[in-house]
């Protein structure tokens, strides 16, 4: 046992300091960002152009309906893992599907043998319409996970692989050495995640993003900050800390596109949001919590928020405002133009 005495900060511990800005209007801020991935199957000048926000692969967030609404604005979605092969093939291979669908949507899988079989079945039917895969586990430090990412890269050399989760530079190094393009960062920080309370494991999200972004740049990769975003200002702080993408769960939940049923309570409409390691999720998808494990998530009721487009407008407006305060002409400049002050 040893104690690390270096202070690790979270989003609530800091503010971004304003500075002189030449931007006269929020309209001048460019929201889209371009990325070049380590692995890709063409020679275009850049491989991705869009708003670097990502919908989480949670029930009630990573739905087809959410992906289509976000995709129209150039925002990315990692689909929930629980769609069937038929549903996924129908989605990616749909006649007259919008051209951007293959650019802003990833299929999500775990590390079981059936996950790889499922992916292969979808990929063989839709081909290069499926460009991204999110290999998602709670513990990205597992050797089994690292070997799985390496194996997956060998079998699919041109796919963009996003893998995680980890919270340290060591974890980033292992995943990038295994062939990933991007790393999901965050353990215990999600709004409906109980990992820290249940296990004592975790890491303040801001500190994790800072540490991991430094490491991933050595590989020409990117990180996806996953968790800890409670308010729109936290999105800006995640970009300021070095995130390539910011993944959102709770902020996108309880909208019409979540497809979660309405729950009527005290004359108000609610929708349920739960963590994917919660009792609710494991009961729904796997028949219950296995004897050898425990729930590491919780369930909450969120008041119905209506169509997600209104939330997106507020969210993107807030990001534009952040940029005008620090003279950032686009989201990519938030990182280099930011200075944190500790509260």
d(CA 273, CA 261): 11
Residue 29 phi, psi (nearest 5)? -80, 130
- Would you call 193 a catalytic residue per the annotation? yes
- CB distance 328 to 29 below 8 Å: yes
Query: Rounded to an integer, what distance in angstroms lies between the CA atom of residue 29 and that of residue 324?
Result: 8
CB hemisphere CA count around 126 (13 angstroms)? 26
pLDDT confidence of residue 266: 93
* Collapsed DSSP state (helix, strand, coil) of residue 299: strand
Tokens for 343, please give them. Answer: 């509260």
Instruction: Find, among 18, 22, 23, 71, the residue nearest to 48 by Cα.
Output: 71
Tell me what pLDDT residue 42 has: 62
- Domain 47-342, second-level architecture: Alpha-Beta Barrel (3.20)
Catalytic one of 78, 102, 134, 193: 193
In angstroms, the CA 145 to CA 88 distance is 24
Query: Using an 8 Å Cβ cutoff, are 111 and 84 in contact?
Result: no
Which residue ranges make up each domain of the chain? 47-342
- The predicted pLDDT at position 5 comes to 85
Q: Can you list the residues of the chain whose pLDDT is less than 70?
A: 41-46, 281
pLDDT of res. 41 = 60
Instruction: Report the b/e string of 194-210 with b at 16+ CB within 10 A.
Output: bbeeeeeebbbbbbbbb
Sheet of 263-265, strand order? 263-265, 268-274, 299-303
CB within 8 Å of 130: residues ≥ 6 apart = 92, 102, 107, 122, 123, 159
- Look at residue 43 in the predicted model and tell me its pLDDT: 58
């Amino acid at each position: 046992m040893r104690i690390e005495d270096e202070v690790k900060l979270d989003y609530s511990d800091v503010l971004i300091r304003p500075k002189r800005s030449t931007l006269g209007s929020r309209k001048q801020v460019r929201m889209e960002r371009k990325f070049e991935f380590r692995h890709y199957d063409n020679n275009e000048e850049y491989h991705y152009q869009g708003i670097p926000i990502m919908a989480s692969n949670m029930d009630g967030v990573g739905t087809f309906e959410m992906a289509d609404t976000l995709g129209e604005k150039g925002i990315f979605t990692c689909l929930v893992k629980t769609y069937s092969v038929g549903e996924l093939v129908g989605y990616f291979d749909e006649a007259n599907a919008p051209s951007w669908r293959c650019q802003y949507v990833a299929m999500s899988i775990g590390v079981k043998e059936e996950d790889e079989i499922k992916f292969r079945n979808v990929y063989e039917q839709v081909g290069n319409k499926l460009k991204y895969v999110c290999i998602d586990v709670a513990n990205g430090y597992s050797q089994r996970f690292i070997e799985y990412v390496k194996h997956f890269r060998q079998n699919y050399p041109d796919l963009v692989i996003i893998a995680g989760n980890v919270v340290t530079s060591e974890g980033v190094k292992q995943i990038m050495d295994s062939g990933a393009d991007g790393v999901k960062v965050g353990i215990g920080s999600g709004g409906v995640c109980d990992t820290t309370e249940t296990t004592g494991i975790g890491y303040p999200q801001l500190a994790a993003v800072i540490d991991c972004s430094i490491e991933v740049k050595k590989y020409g990769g990117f990180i996806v900050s996953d968790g800890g975003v409670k308010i729109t200002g936290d999105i800006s702080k995640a970009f300021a800390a070095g995130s390539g993408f910011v993944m959102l769960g709770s902020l996108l939940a309880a909208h019409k596109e979540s497809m979660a049923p309405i729950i009527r309570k005290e004359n108000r409409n609610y929708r349920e949001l739960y963590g994917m390691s919660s009792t609710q999720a494991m009961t729904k998808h796997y028949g219950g919590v296995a004897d050898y494990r425990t729930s590491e998530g919780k369930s909450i009721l969120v008041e119905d928020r209506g169509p997600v487009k209104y939330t997106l407008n507020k969210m993107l407006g807030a990001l534009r405002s952040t940029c005008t305060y620090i003279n950032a002409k686009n989201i990519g400049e938030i990182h280099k133009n930011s200075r944190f002050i500790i509260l």
